[in-house]
């Protein structure tokens, strides 16, 4: 992984992608993808030093901040937001409510992401031994309003401390 680096170009500080990732939490891969589409998205131009791209610090941080805010503002709201807040929705109904393509999304959250998806508001033991889980519409609205979801996060990874001690 490249080392975070900062240089001066014509008296202005410029950052490489690793440094931008440290400051914004946006992965270098996401940065490269956005840079490739700069003609349509307005991404700041790079200054090349050898094979490494550097970006004007002020412009690139402002651009990524605006990009993240725009992405967050355009998050997909629940598809079926009408109805009683206390109505109980089973997995198929919750899937439609949240706008997921498949019930396996919710089932995967329940099986592999302990604590991520909200606890069911109602559980019913079925004669087959399975459990029918149901959530209040209000519970699912609160879940949908949370800031990040797996695969839908604003950034590619969490921010790292700039002055973290490394183990020897």
Q: What is the pLDDT of residues 106-150, one digit of tens each?
A: 999 998 877 889 999 999 999 999 999 999 999 998 888 774 554
Distance of CA 30 to the CA centre of its chain: 12
What is the sign, positive or negative, of the torsion defined by CA atoms of 152, 109, 28, 167? positive
CATH architecture of 6-73: Orthogonal Bundle (1.10)
| Below-70 pLDDT ranges, the chain | 1, 74-81, 147-168
Taking the C-alpha atoms of residue 55 and residue 43, their distance in angstroms, rounded to an integer, is: 10
What rounded mean pLDDT belongs to the chain? 84
This prediction's pTM: 0.51
């Amino acid at each position: 992984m490249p080392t975070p680096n900062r240089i001066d170009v014509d008296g202005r500080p410029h950052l490489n992608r690793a440094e931008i990732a440290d400051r914004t939490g946006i992965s270098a891969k996401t940065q490269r993808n956005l840079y490739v589409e700069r003609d349509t998205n307005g991404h700041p131009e790079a200054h090349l030093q050898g094979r490494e791209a550097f970006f004007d610090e002020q412009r690139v941080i402002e651009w990524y901040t605006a990009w993240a805010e725009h992405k967050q503002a355009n998050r997909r709201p629940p598809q079926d937001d009408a109805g009683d807040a206390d109505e109980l929705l089973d997995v198929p109904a919750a899937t439609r409510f949240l706008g997921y393509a498949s019930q396996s999304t919710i089932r995967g959250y329940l099986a592999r992401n302990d604590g991520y998806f909200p606890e069911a508001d109602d559980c019913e033991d079925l004669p087959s031994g399975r459990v029918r889980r149901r959530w209040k519409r209000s519970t699912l609205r609160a879940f949908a309003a949370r800031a990040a979801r797996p695969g839908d996060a604003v950034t590619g990874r969490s921010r790292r401390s700039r002055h973290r001690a490394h183990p020897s």
